[in-house]
Structure 1
Amino acid sequence: MASQATRLRLGQLADSVRLILFRQDRILLNAGELFWSPRSAESLEAEFSALLHIGEFGGSRYLAAELDVEAGLESRSLRSLLFSETDADLELLSRARQLLNWYGTHRYCGICGSPTVLREGERMLECTTCSHQFFPRINPCVIVLVTRGEEVLLARSARFRTGYYSCLAGFVEIGETPEQTIEREVREESGVEVDNIRYVESQSWPFPSQLMLGFLADYRSGDIVPEPGEIEDAAWFHVKNLPPTPSAGVSVAGRLIEGYARSMRDPL
């Protein structure tokens, strides 16, 4: 049952506002639709977390909230929507999920343990006792396609779908540049050395809050030795005979692979 405070908050919102509602990492659908009006959300009779400002698009302001119950609603995981929604909608959903994750994991101060509160007009949580401030965290990662002429180095882990391969990837560690991370990750995961590292493009990846930095790198030396416990298989593939890989429509890995393969098949 929604509290009086929740009903009051929803009742004060303009009709043009759209809400993105989550319950435990799943998006709650409004008769199959992604977004809720304040009136339709109020009818759920559920308790909401703080309403977090996501952004404005197409003349509407978008807010996100976490529900305390599923309320018998149809729901979808964010991953399941990657292939079916527009880029604009996915950007809103991605930002909503990341901000709700940040809010949910910083309800109490990591310094003194006191509750935190949202500061009006700023995307920040502040401790009610020691005033320590917490801002949304983004975790930088690199993803790299290693190339050797018309061949590319692809790998798979045990968590991949059967038969699928992708680029090598890893988190940027403290004190590293992205280029240093690439050299280390490629060496650790495949045993080979690279050079001529060049940036291509980036992608926000909300699982839970990564920023993927996509690169190409040239093979320099070494034989492939997959990292035990991390890489199930790694191999060189000719661009005309690639295994199943992530879709270029939703993944920077897919775009790196597709773009390089196209440049080899159809050189200028």
Structure 2
Amino acid sequence: MIEIAIFSDIHGNLPALKVVVKDIEQRGIDQMYCLGDLVDFAPWGNEVIECIRDLKIPCLLGNHDERLAFNNPIIPIPHHDAEETMQRTKAINHSKDTITEANKKWMSQLPYTIELRYKIKDTFRKVLLVHASTRSNDEYIHVGHDSKDLEGMLTLSGADVIVMGHTHIAYQKEILLGGNDKRLLLNDGSVGRSREADRLASYAILRISEQGITAEIVKLEYPVQEVADAIFKSDIPDFYGNFLLNGNVTV
């Protein structure tokens, strides 16, 4: 059996990343992949990038990474109110000012997708890693997304599994394309800025065997108060520390 660990959306939260990596290592899983969004909203953007680099973890270019790497403009998100739009702008500008040029250059060279092919006896299994969707690194694909569109993405990609992040909400969804052709859509949630009520760090494990492909979503506690306090002491708006502490808020 082949085991793969996949995580994403760290958003500068180094303590949460350390907890996730330690758990993966303790499970003896050698293959780790990151789906991007290393930066913004917590104070350790450079340290997170350097951790991923030092561990040589293959990583995708998330939409937040792309904005910093290429100095793209900050475009407001339609579902954010004026207050959050202002706080988001301050937080992203903080990253633009503090992420080193060397780390920006490294992010600028990250791929948008990673395709993995494994041979199990006489059968090939294809796993496609994306940040948000097969079309874009900033499209939101929630669990209730249009089924026909999901079927189309899986058919066009030829993947047995598409793994994504971006929404900060973990889920797995089986898609039946016809007959016994079952495919899997998997969201690994978020390491450092979960939008789920429990605010736990999450990642996904894929297990590939002769019997097929299964997925597990792992959730872990990390020192949230420590992270929030570090945000409060930094120039990042307190909004993002309060977000982590207030699990009943689903921004």
- Asked if TM exceeds 0.5, the reply is no
Tell me the TM-score normalised to structure 2 length. 0.27
**Of Structure 1 and Structure 2, which has the larger fraction of its residues in strand?**
1
Tell me the TM-score normalised to structure 1 length. 0.26
**Of Structure 1 and Structure 2, which has the larger fraction of its residues in helix?**
2
Larger Cα-atom Rg:
1
